[in-house]
Each structure stands twice: as C-alpha cells, then as structure tokens.
Structure 1
C-alpha cells in the first residue's frame, strides 16, 4: 500500500465520520465553513513548516518508492492528509459533544426547577 492510498482511506473515513456527526448535530451548533477553512489552512501551513524542519533534521524519512513525488517544502503531499482529516473530523465531533452537553445542562436545570 502506498502512502497516498493510506492517506486517501484516512481522509475518506474522517470525511464520512464528519458528515455523520454533522447530521447528528443541531444546525445552530454546526461549525461555520469559514472557520473550518481557516483552521485547515493553518494546519497545512504548520505541517509544511514543521514537517520540513523534522525531515531536514533527519528525525524521519519516507521511502520514495511509496510516495507520489509531490512535495511542499520537504514534506510529501501525502503527509497533509492528516491535518486535513483533523480539520474535518475534530470540529464536527466538538460541535456534537458541545450540543449534547448543552442539551444535557438544559434538561437537568429544567428538572431542578420542576
């Protein structure tokens, strides 16, 4: 399996999970698309910078036989799948958990008044 195939499976699973979580989250609690885009760009920039530093310092390397061959800085393109997956999945999970927490707080405070 190449790094690109692994990355595609990982991003695909994160995207499917994010869609499911967003469907389960009330519309008012869903993250805004602009916020997700800003977070994704920030994570991609940070990945390019810090992965390049780590690769240049020799902390790790990739087998060129399993890479697509496209690099941003020294970081292979496949390495950017993980921040993209995180930018998709984590805000959706956070929104769902926050909505459930707020819903639980509203129920328990309503029961205390009754």
Structure 2
C-alpha cells in the first residue's frame, strides 16, 4: 500500500466534512477565506519543519511507497496530516459551535 492511498482514507472523509461545514456556514465566503488562510499557514510551516526533520535524519520514508513528488526533500505525502488538520479542525469547530439564534420569546 502506498502512502497516498493511505492518506486518501483520511482526506476523503475530511473533504466531505469540509463541504458540509461550508454548506452550513452562515457566511460561506468568510469560512472559505479562513479555511484557505489556515491551510496556507499550516502548509508553509509543515514545509519548513518537515524539511528540517528529514534533513537531520529524524524521519525517513520507504521510497517504494512514495509518489516521487517532493517539496524540497519532504515527500508530498508528508503534507497530508497538515491538510487533514487544517481542514477538519475548523470544519468541526464550525459545525459543533452553538447556534447563534436567539430563542423565541413565549407569549
């Protein structure tokens, strides 16, 4: 099994959750903008720190399970946990927060 196939088992449900969160968001543009900014920030940090960790030998991958696409010396598969976190956490936060609707007054 390749790392990409393993990653898809987590990223596909994450994408479904994100779509549900976007559809239920009161302000879709704001939610998508926040999700995009979060994703960019996490991916940049992941690129920097994963390259450092791989460069010093802290982490290694079996090359036979990699796609061959790299960002620096970090395989693209190494970014899946960052994508997962950057998509799932804001989506869950959005879906699980209490409704802002005020309760109706009883007459």
Same fold, TM-score > 0.5, yes or no? yes
User: Match for residue 52 of structure 1?
Assistant: 51
User: Match for residue 26 of structure 2?
Assistant: 27
Report 1:82-97 matches (<5 A): 82-97=81-96
Question: What count of residue pairs does the alignment treat as equivalent?
Answer: 107
Greater fraction of residues in helix: 1
TM-score (normalizing by structure 1): 0.77
TM-score (normalizing by structure 2): 0.81
- Contiguous gaps of at least 5 residues in structure 1: none
- Contiguous gaps of at least 5 residues in structure 2: none
Whether contact under 8 Å (2:25, 2:31) holds in the other structure is no
Consecutive aligned runs of 4 or more in structure 1 exceeding 6 Å deviation? none
Report 1:31-42 matches (<5 A): 31-42=30-41
Deviation of 1:17 after TM superposition, in Å, equals 2.1
Deviates more, 1:13-22 or 1:87-96: 13-22
- When the two chains are superposed, the root-mean-square deviation of aligned CA atoms in Å is 2.4
Instruction: Name the CA distance, whole Å, in 1 between partners of 2:29 and 2:92.
Output: 10
